[in-house]
């Protein structure tokens, strides 16, 4: 058996890294619109029962949760086209367009289902699961490409900076586009909004094309290494992933962060319509306050992390500040208060978001050192698994709070008890979720700067 060759570390231009991360615009736009509007659209606009809406979103999330790890396992091997077209590029390029057009179906229920509770519930489940089937092949491979392609630690921090800035653009669009188009009570306006999102995403596809290609040298190294490895069963791979302590600590904070964000996003339209009693356009001002906070804080968080070289500490500090700044939203009943608190929340959010990719990359490096195998797709698939558990938390929280507080589906106004429930799932409950995640991560995650250096040295020694 020939000696294993050293894994190539290829440096890339900032243009290439920027192109790769333009995909974040479409990802955050599509996922943001779904997180923000799917429950509101089916419950408050179409009149679907709160518990049925929660069950439908939960089914979609559970389906996605199990679908993503399977897709990750299936795509973590070479195919006939791998040598010519790359390891990840074919899946990313092929499944992107079907994904965004399936997204249209979610906000375009046929007329014959709109007057039936069972019909609406069935369409919600059908359209979201169909969307997820193609979405998994895109996102799992996209997130797996990053750690494999960009292996230099300095590049990864630059990459995460691009990811945050482009991601912020996607988040802003997810808040700005819908209010510009939708009218409360006008069902067809939601379909028009979805078409605009598709148009923006198609434009992103052309911008990201150059960045989503695999490096030829990395693909060749993978093919040679794969031939020398024993192919693991799916369950053996799952067992290893679930035994990785630092990965589980990362995932638990990540899922509770996602639960926090998705619950707050879903609450914005409820808060705007029923608490502030204003038009949808006001949502734009709320997200701009949040965006400016994040934009101002990003360079400060990046500079501080570059100085300390401690990704772990940045995540803990920023997540703690997110919990502290989210809780006061429970008591905000006017636009001025909302703007101030969301600006402060954005200051904390910028630090957490910019570290998602570096922390995940540190975990991936440790997994390779532990197993001498590269499982980026499998790890990425499980990250998507936990992301969808966050959707379950969001759906269950909204369904239970609305049922217990007497929310009236499809009504233009709500009783005082329902208004109190909306405030709870806008501020206090999200703060509790992220607070629990911080405590778990602080207790169990131990990839310190010294361990990062040790893992980098071992990867070079192992030629992986």
- pTM over 0.75, yes/no: no
Of 60-64, 75-79, 104-108, 227-231, the range with the highest mean pLDDT is 104-108
Which residue reads 């040295």 in tokens?
457
Residue 351 · residue 318 · CB < 8 Å: yes
Helix/strand/coil percent split, the chain, to 5: 80, 0, 20
Q: How confident is the model at residue 190 (pLDDT cuts 50, 70, 90)?
A: very high
Question: Rounded distance, CA 462 to CA 464, Å?
Answer: 5
Query: Is pLDDT of 464 > 70?
Result: no
Calpha distance 136→68 (Å, rounded):
6
Q: Map residue 183 onto helix, strand or coil.
A: strand
- Is the pLDDT at 366 greater than 90, yes or no? no
Q: What is the pLDDT of residues 403-430, one digit of tens each?
A: 999 999 888 889 999 999 999 999 999 9
Helices 245-270 and 23-40, packing angle to 10 deg: 60
User: 201 vs 1, which has greater pLDDT?
Assistant: 201
Domain ranges of the chain: 19-212+233-462
Mean of pLDDT values over 46-64: 89
Give tens-digit pLDDT for 106-133: 998 998 888 889 999 999 999 999 998 8
CATH number of the domain located at residue range(s) 19-212+233-462 in this protein: 1.20.1250.20
Q: 323 or 298, which is more confident?
A: 323
């Amino acid at each position: 058996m020939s000696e294993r060759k050293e894994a190539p570390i290829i440096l890339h231009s900032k243009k290439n890294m920027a192109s790769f991360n333009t995909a974040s615009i479409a990802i955050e736009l599509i996922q943001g619109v779904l997180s923000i509007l799917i429950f509101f659209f089916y419950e408050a606009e179409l009149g679907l029962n709160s518990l049925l809406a929660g069950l439908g979103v939960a089914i979609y999330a559970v389906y996605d949760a199990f679908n993503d790890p399977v897709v990750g396992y299936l795509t973590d091997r070479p195919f006939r086209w791998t040598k010519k077209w790359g390891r990840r590029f074919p899946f990313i390029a092929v499944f992107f367009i079907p994904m965004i057009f399936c997204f249209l179906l979610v906000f375009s229920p046929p007329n014959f289902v709109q007057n039936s509770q069972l019909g609406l519930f069935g369409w919600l489940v059908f359209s979201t699961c169909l969307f997820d089937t193609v979405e998994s092949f895109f996102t799992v491979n996209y997130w797996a490409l990053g750690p494999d392609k960009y292996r230099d630690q300095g590049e990864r921090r630059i990459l995460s900076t691009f990811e945050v800035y482009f991601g912020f653009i996607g988040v802003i669009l997810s808040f700005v586009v819908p209010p510009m188009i939708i009218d409360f009570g006008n069902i067809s306006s939601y379909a028009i909004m979805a078409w605009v999102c598709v148009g923006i995403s198609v434009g992103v596809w052309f911008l990201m094309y150059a960045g989503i290609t695999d490096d030829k040298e990395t693909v060749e190294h993978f093919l040679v290494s794969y031939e020398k490895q024993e192919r693991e069963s799916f369950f053996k791979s799952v067992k290893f992933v679930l035994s990785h302590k630092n990965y589980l600590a990362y995932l638990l904070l990540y899922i509770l962060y996602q639960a926090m964000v998705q619950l707050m996003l879903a609450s914005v339209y409820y808060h705007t319509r029923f608490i502030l009693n204003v038009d949808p356009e006001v949502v734009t001002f709320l997200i701009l306050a949040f965006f400016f906070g994040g934009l101002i804080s990003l360079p400060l968080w990046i500079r501080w992390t570059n100085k300390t070289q401690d990704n772990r500490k940045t995540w803990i500090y920023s997540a703690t500040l997110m919990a502290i700044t989210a809780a006061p939203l429970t008591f905000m009943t006017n636009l001025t208060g909302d703007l101030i608190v969301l600006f402060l929340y954005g200051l904390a959010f910028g630090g957490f978001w910019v570290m998602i990719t570096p922390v995940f990359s540190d975990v991936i490096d440790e997994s390779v050192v532990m197993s001498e195998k590269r499982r980026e797709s499998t790890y990425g698939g499980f990250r998507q698994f936990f992301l969808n558990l966050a959707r379950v938390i969001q759906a269950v929280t909204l369904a239970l709070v609305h049922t217990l507080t007497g929310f009236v589906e499809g009504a233009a106004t709500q009783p005082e008890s329902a208004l109190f429930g909306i405030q709870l799932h806008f501020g206090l409950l999200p703060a509790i979720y992220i607070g629990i995640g911080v405590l778990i991560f602080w207790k169990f995650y131990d990839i310190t700067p010294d361990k990062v250096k040790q893992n980098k040295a071992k990867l070079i020694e192992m030629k992986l």
